[in-house]
Structure 1
Amino acid sequence: MSRSIHRRTFLTTAAALAGAVALPATAARAAAAPRISTAFTLPEERAYPEGIALDARTGDAYVGSYTTGAVYRAVRGSRAAEVFLPSGTDGRTTANGLKADRAGRLWVIDSTAGVDVYDLRTRALLARFTVPGGGPSFVNDLALGPDGTAYLTDSSRPVVYRVTPADLGRAHGGSATLDAAYDLSAVAPSDGLFLNGIVVDPSGRYLLAVGMTGGGLYRVGTATGSVRQVALNGGDLKHGDGLELAHGTLWAAHNATNTLSRWRLSPDGTSARLERQFTDTALQIPTTLARTHGRLLVVRSQFDKGGPMGQGVPEEPFTVAWVDGI
């Protein structure tokens, strides 16, 4: 998929959803406004960051560039990230969804091709999983289950791909095709981009994926493949991008509206209640988020300033923010 197609995809989505912003619940508006500050800066011009991953072993953060495919690393406590994987590494032209696993591997999505898996210590490419043929594809985000299984969304196809530890072992040192394990076509809208952010329940029983255009949240049983829409009380997830799940609380970044929201999930993951939502232009089109030590790291993409969502000039340097109080 060409860069021009990427740009048109984002522009079409933003235009289709302009003005379709859910208002926060009264209770969500009552609390004091969250605090936004800069966590660390990113190197290179036109980085336009999209994804973020935290290495639980070291506390280091990894951020991917949507426009070049570079990956940056911010060592724990550092105020400035450095280049970890240069632009164009292994032929990658974009890096969006990222995750670091407990075995010391970094998963890096290239939306045009699939996902690459790296050794964090040596930076060596361990395996590559590519999208199966059959039409347009836009691999977007991924989540890791408690057993090490990776789940990936596709914003052009109503499927969730799966890479098990056994799949990774078989592909070690080479490449394989992604397994479209879960079919969400029964709930997929017909108006363009669909699946985006994804998280896995800590038990591994189900995953949750957000529908960016319609604002729905979908629960997929990992063992059965059963799909149902989660009942959202008090709001919706339109423009929903990256998700974070911890202790029954779900956080979401709503990219085009500069919004973050917090939801309380029911024990079985079939419903969610909006607890907090706020909008601030200082979020600079937040694409994803990661929670650590009670705080959120939020990627400020600036996609609307000369990136895939609009014309203009970005503020330099690009940054990742701390957000406290949500």
Structure 2
Amino acid sequence: MYRAVRRRSIVVAALAAPLLLGSTAQAADAPAQTRARISTAHVLPGDRVYPEGIAADPRTGDMYVGSYEGGTIYKLTPGRRDAEQFLPPFIDGRSQALGLEVDRAGRLWVADRLTGVAVYDIATRRLHARFTITDQNPRLVNDMAITPDGTAYITGSRRSVVYRITPEQLADAHEQGGDAPLTPAFDLSEVVEPHAPNTITLNGIVAEPSGRYLLTVDMTGGDLYRIALPSGEVEKVALSGGDLTTGDGMELHHGTLWVAHPIKDAYAIGRWRIGSDGRTARSTGRLTDLALQTPTTLLRKHGKLYVVRSQFDKGGPTGPGTPQLPFSIAVVRGF
């Protein structure tokens, strides 16, 4: 069992491994899949957006997307192609927006890679509470998942830790003026494959629907880890048919796990079947297509995947060049 004893969706171009190009979804140990269809669902205003995270409000169907540049939050309304600004950039001490979640109480959770997590009331657009890392150690506050009891788990990608914010901590922070420290709950540094200092490790994270466990990916080592709740016991998931190297944001739905792979010039989404106990994962398909435009994360809604086209490698944090405007969110059907 591993618990927090020390103080973990970003692209690493150097991790790019050779992959086959094409737009056919190919299964590792199953017949070839039907060709998936990729189109643009929403467009985002601005020429320096570089979107990173996405979340859906279960009450309304609205989606929210965060910008790596400045931390602007955009609202995507069903039936409307053009996104609108929901929160302006550079507010509440934030300069970026990475992982996003919306809880059942109508609050939007936003991870900033350097500072911590900000929580907003969607109805008022006001800051509800803020959780900040107070030490000066290297950090990358990254992706997020919320369990049915309302607890948020956030990856610390340079420390191989998972932070936790409980409903009680959220309520206390709000009552005491809105500020509280963000501290790790689970330390995976002793089980994650050793890497060079400051390597980006734990990235995407998802919660099993009943809250029994979390799954998180080591994007450098290609491993998937199961964290039992509430104990924090960590196990490496047994993978068959491949690995999850360069895995970024993930989505778990009815036992199927989709993983975004923002690999330079070979953008991909992997699909895995998760065992009933979360201890095994079998590759069932891989969609590789340049139209995904450096996918950092994704979500499943009404049988379709909504994929963030970050374009990080086109003048963003992982490469030179010029992005294709407008920035956009893709919809993938048939995968």
TM-score category (smaller protein): over 0.9
| Aligned pairs (5 A) from 1:1-326 | 10=11, 13-15=12-14, 17-19=15-17, 21=19, 25-27=27-29, 30-133=32-135, 135-172=137-174, 173-188=177-192, 189-191=194-196, 192-256=199-263, 257-326=266-335
Task: List gaps (5 residues or longer) in structure 2.
Answer: 1-9
**3-state secondary structure, aligned to 1:83:** strand
CA deviation after TM superposition for structure 1 residue 19, in Å: 2.5
CA deviation after TM superposition for structure 1 residue 169, in Å: 0.3
Higher relative contact order (Cα pairs below 8 Å, separated by 6+ residues): 2
Deviates more, 1:137-146 or 1:88-97: 88-97
**3-state secondary structure, aligned to 2:190:** coil
C-alpha root-mean-square deviation of aligned residues, in Å?
Answer: 1.6
Q: Deviations over 1:88-122 (max 9, x none)?
A: 12231100100111100000111110000000010
**3-state secondary structure, aligned to 2:104:** coil
* AA at the equivalent of 2:294: I
Task: List gaps (5 residues or longer) in structure 1.
Answer: 1-8
For residues 70 and 247 of structure 2, the distance between their equivalents in structure 1, rounded to whole angstroms, comes to: 23
Cross-structure match for 1:3: none
CA contact (8 A) 1:54 1:60 kept: yes
CA deviation after TM superposition for structure 1 residue 28, in Å: 5.3
For residues 185 and 27 of structure 1, the distance between their equivalents in structure 2, rounded to whole angstroms, comes to: 32
For residues 17 and 117 of structure 2, the distance between their equivalents in structure 1, rounded to whole angstroms, comes to: 33
* AA at the equivalent of 2:274: L
Give the TM-score normalised by the residue count of structure 2: 0.91
User: Structure 1 pair 181/32, CA: closer, same or farther in 2 (3 Å)?
Assistant: same
CA contact (8 A) 1:207 1:222 kept: yes
CA contact (8 A) 1:22 1:236 kept: no
For residues 199 and 193 of structure 1, the distance between their equivalents in structure 2, rounded to whole angstroms, comes to: 18
Structure 1 or 2: more helix by fraction? 1
CA contact (8 A) 1:21 1:238 kept: no
> Aligned pairs, how many?
315
Q: Deviations over 1:221-276 (max 9, x none)?
A: 12211111101110111110111011111111011241001111111000000111
CA contact (8 A) 2:28 2:285 kept: no
For residues 29 and 323 of structure 1, the distance between their equivalents in structure 2, rounded to whole angstroms, comes to: 20
Which structure 1 residue ranges, 4+ long, deviate > 6 Å from structure 2? none
CA contact (8 A) 1:29 1:276 kept: no
* AA at the equivalent of 2:184: A
For residues 29 and 136 of structure 1, the distance between their equivalents in structure 2, rounded to whole angstroms, comes to: 45
* Percent identical residues: 57
CA contact (8 A) 2:29 2:241 kept: no
Give the TM-score normalised by the residue count of structure 1: 0.93
